[in-house]
Amino acid sequence: MIEVAVILDWLTFAVRWLHVIVAIAWIGSSFYFIALDLGLRKSKNLPVNAYGEEWQVHGGGFYHLTKYLVAPKTLPEHLVWFKWESYSTWLSGFTLLILIYYLGADIYLIDINKFDLPNWAGILISLFSLSFGWLFYDFLCKSPLGKKQSLLMIILFFVLLGISWFYAQIFTGRAALLHIGAFTATIMSANVFFIIIPNQKIAVAKLKAKQKVPAYLGEQAKQRSLHNNYLTLPVIFLMLSIHYPLAFATNYNWLIAGLIFLIGVLIRHYFNSKHARKAKPNWTWILAALLFMLIIWLSYIGRPATTENENLSETKINNNIYSATKNFTQVKNIILTRCSMCHAKEPVYEGIYQAPKNIILENDKDIAKYAKQIILQAGLSYAMPPANISFMEDEERQILVEWLEQIREIRNVNHEY
Ligand code: HEC
């Protein structure tokens, strides 16, 4: 029978594939429309109610686009809506969150060195913070503050910084950065789902009924679109950051996230100005580069201390069936000789500066904690060691697989699943 872990890993891969594809579709169409919108030109022969037009050439043909504000004189029969790009990005992203961080909460979500939470509590905090984030953001936008565009953006920045700090205190570095991304992306998708599309639907219905379209509908949607525009780049950074321990496995990961939001705004500002054919504010690149250097420095000085945290909840680790197996000593020897040169607090392998993916395999506790991952990467597959650099033998991989079988046996005896 195929291992459940293998199926789960493939499922995660499939969902991630989908997630990246739909995210490209969402962000791609949103970049396209922002640039189109900013670059619209006035012309003498524009139709009634038209706001601007643009000629484009692509894929062997010419396109003539016209934007109508609020709407053309007669509504077309057929309208293309852009909404599933956003919804499917959120849905697939949330599924990934469940598959990786909720099902694998012990290693990916919870860091008992920071905060000794049971898995369910971590999951609840995750769910609650994501929904609360949207409600609070929506409340701010609809409050009198919402009228003061720049002040609102500054406040939102500090809200993001605050939640980043909060996540960094309770979750693993990796989960913290990912959650900041998910928090922001949830706001972006909810903007589309709860505000932008519904407002547009009301507007279309009013137009069909030959009624006046209230101005607030458009204003609200425009504000949310603007926020989404500025949030896109940081979200992509945060989603990718999980591959870079230098970004997430540092005490200043939350500050790094904050700086990334600033860099995202700077870069978007450059492109927005350029597409509006106003100016090319090249200074934004210089400032962004300086902030990026600051990030590199922060990751360096925020490197985790190499001393062991003594206040760990011992019970959670010691009652561990993973280290209670008959062949655990053998397993441990294999890990120490084949993996620890890289997966250590201070790796000795040339060119490895920090434990890859921040996975440290130095003692019984570590090995028990990452048991499932170890078996998957080095027992059931040849993924680790990379290029079999430490000459792991097939018999050793077999011992890791037997380890899994012994873990199962103990589970059966204890009626644990
Ligand atoms: C030469 C250094 C090196 C050695 C030796 C090594 N690893 Fe790795 N390991 C890496 C690198 C680099 C990565 C990150 C790969 C990536 O970014 O996709 C990694 C990633 C991992 C991951 C995380 C995989 C993921 O995608 O989440 C696990 C688990 C792992 N290694 C386990 C092991 C085990 C078990 C051994 C010993 C049998 C081992 N490694 C030996 C360098 C090493």
Structure tokens at 400: 């890791």
The percent of residues above 90 in pLDDT, for the chain, comes to 65
Tell me what pLDDT residue 1 has.
Answer: 61
Residue with tokens 């643009």: 54
For ligand 1, the distance from its centroid to the CA atom of residue 334, given in whole angstroms, is: 14
Q: In 3D, which of 237, 234, 242, 15 has the Cα closest to residue 108?
A: 242
Q: Which string of DSSP letters, residue by residue, matches 102-141?
A: ITTIIIIIB-TTT----HHHHHHHHHHHHHHHHHHHHHHH
pLDDT computed for residue 141 by the predictor: 96
Indicate if the pLDDT at residue 114 is higher than 50: yes
DSSP tag of 39: T
Give rounded-to-5 percent helix, strand, coil for the chain: 70, 5, 30
Residue 336's Cβ-count burial label (10 Å; 0-12, 13-18, 19+) is middle
Q: Which residue of 243, 336, 357 sits with most ligand 1 atoms within 8 Å of its CB, as the best mutation to test the pocket?
A: 357
Residue with tokens 């170890």: 374
What pLDDT band is residue 321 in, cutting at 50, 70 and 90? confident
Residue 138's Cβ-count burial label (10 Å; 0-12, 13-18, 19+) is middle
Distance 385 CA to ligand 1 centre (A): 6
Q: What is the pLDDT of residues 360-401, one digit of tens each?
A: 999 998 898 899 889 988 988 888 998 888 899 999 999 999
User: What pLDDT shows up at residue 305?
Assistant: 61
CA of 129 relative to ligand 1 center, distance in Å: 31
131 vs 2, more confident: 131
Which letter does DSSP use for residue 305 in this model? P
* pLDDT of amino acid 315: 45
pLDDT for the residue 383? 83
* Residue matched to tokens 């079999």: 388
Backbone angles phi, psi at 148, to 5 degrees: -100, 90
Q: Is the pLDDT of residue 310 over 70?
A: no
Mean pLDDT, range 133-160, rounded to an integer: 95
Cα 95 to Cα 87: distance, rounded to the nearest angstrom: 12
Rounded CA-CA distance 383/238 in Å is 25
Count of CA atoms in the C-beta half-sphere (13 A) of 362? 15
Q: How far away, in angstroms, is 117 Cα from ligand 1 center?
A: 26
Q: Is the pLDDT of residue 159 over 80?
A: yes
Q: What are phi and psi of 53, to 5 degrees?
A: -145, 165
Residue of 365 and 156 predicted with greater confidence: 156
- The total of other beta-carbon atoms located within 10 Å of residue 367's CB is 23
> What is residue 408's three-state secondary structure?
helix
Peptide bond between residue 6 and the one before it cis (omega within 30 degrees of 0): no
DSSP lists the bridge partners of residue 56 as 63
Contact 134, 192 (CB under 8 A): no
Integer-rounded Cα Rg, in Å, for the chain is: 26
Ligand 1 proximal residues by C-beta, below 6 Å: 243, 338-339, 341-343, 349, 352, 356-357, 359, 370, 373-374, 377-378, 384-386, 389-390, 392
Higher pLDDT, 405 or 261: 261
The mean of the pLDDT values for the chain is 90
Q: Is the pLDDT of residue 140 over 60?
A: yes
Note if the bond before 72 is cis, omega within 30 degrees: no
Residue nearest to ligand 1 atom 17, measured at CA? 243
Specify the residue with its C-alpha closest to ligand 1, atom 37.
Answer: 339
Q: Is 50 exposed, middle or buried (0-12, 13-18, 19+ CB in 10 A)?
A: middle
Beta-carbon contacts of residue 332 (< 8 Å; ≥ 6 apart):
364, 367
Across the range 253-267, mean pLDDT stands at: 96
CA–CA distance, 9 with 194 (Å, rounded to integer): 33
- Residue 327 — very low, low, confident or very high, per pLDDT cuts 50/70/90? very high
CA-based nearest residue to 381, from 363, 404, 348, 410:
404
Q: Which atom from ligand 1 is nearest to the alpha carbon of 374?
A: 35
Q: Report the nearest atom of ligand 1 relative to the CA of 376.
A: 29
Better-predicted residue by pLDDT, 163 or 355: 163
Percent of the chain residues topping a pLDDT of 70? 95
CB 25 within 8 A of CB 43: no
- The owner of tokens 């644990």 is 416
Question: Which of 106, 333, 359, 394 best tests ligand 1's pocket when mutated (most atoms within 8 Å of CB)?
Answer: 359
pLDDT at 291: 97
Alpha-carbon span 173 to 251, nearest angstrom: 8
pLDDT, tens only, 23-80? 999 999 999 999 999 999 998 889 888 999 999 999 999 999 999 987 888 888 898 9
SS3 114: coil
d(C-alpha 262, C-alpha 257), whole Å:
9
What is the H or E stretch that residue 16 is in? helix 4-38
182 φ, ψ to 5°? -70, -35
Residue 271, helix vs strand vs coil: helix
319 against 236, higher pLDDT: 236
CB-count exposure of residue 204 (10 Å: 0-12, 13-18, 19+): middle
